[in-house]
A = this chain, B = another copy of it.
């Protein structure tokens, strides 16, 4: 539809996730009208990220070195490993400042429909980290959806026999939410996982 370069850009943008044809067109026209220096910076940021950013050889979090900042940080507790699907999840947990252990990024979740089995995830590398006696607890923090639960179940089966404490993040009502808007499964989980407020139990 458009002349060469504009259409090329719309096509390339349209391949990015969550950017449909209309958005691709809007972003392309923004790029056309934006400051040239700003847009060169965007293009450089894309190239730089591909050149510089790799994955940590220990935990598979994104990293500019062979090991990520968290794995290099001596103050992080090596006895607890929190297993997540993606680097994004590491950042979400880091923002809470409530976890001071290490991470292990699986690189996704088990999803037979998308052709992702356990062998495509960094599960073997997790097992070899656990052979180190330092690890006392593995927190399974995969997403609370179908694929994340399947992955958690698989990990429990793999790790259940090696004598390390396995835990799963609590499911329940989101803080700040309304009970009446909670879906049935979440509300059911909130009941199952109810905490005692009295000292006796």
Which B residues are in CB contact (< 8 Å) with A39? 46-47, 50
> Which of A16-24, A128-136, A147-155, A176-184 binds B?
A16-24
Is residue A80 within 8 Å, beta carbon to beta carbon, of the partner chain? no
A8 touches B48 (CB 8 A): yes
Please name the residue on chain B nearest to A1 by beta carbon. B91
> Which of A28-36, A110-118, A137-145, A192-200 binds B?
A28-36
A64 touches B4 (CB 8 A): yes
The CA of A52 and the CA of B15, in the complex, are separated in Å by 22
The CA of A91 and the CA of B24, in the complex, are separated in Å by 14
B42 touches A46 (CB 8 A): yes
Interface SS of A by simple majority? helix
Q: Which of B13, B15, B23, B49 contacts A32 (CB 8 A)?
A: B49
The CA of A16 and the CA of B25, in the complex, are separated in Å by 12
Is residue A62 within 8 Å, beta carbon to beta carbon, of the partner chain? yes
Min CB gap A39→B, angstroms: 5
B6 touches A17 (CB 8 A): no
Is residue A66 within 8 Å, beta carbon to beta carbon, of the partner chain? no
Min CB gap A63→B, angstroms: 7
A53 touches B32 (CB 8 A): yes
B6 touches A49 (CB 8 A): yes
**Top-7 shortest CB links A-B:** A43-B43, A9-B45, A12-B42, A43-B46, A12-B45, A9-B49, A5-B52
Name 11 A/B residue pairs within 8 A (Cβ), A-sorted.
Answer: A1-B91, A3-B62, A5-B53, A6-B53, A8-B48, A11-B45, A12-B41, A13-B45, A16-B31, A29-B86, A43-B44
Other contacts beyond A11-B45, A12-B42: 18, CB < 8 A: A1-B95, A3-B53, A3-B63, A3-B64, A4-B52, A5-B48, A5-B64, A8-B45, A9-B46, A13-B42, A17-B30, A19-B27, A25-B91, A26-B88, A28-B49, A29-B62, A32-B50, A36-B50
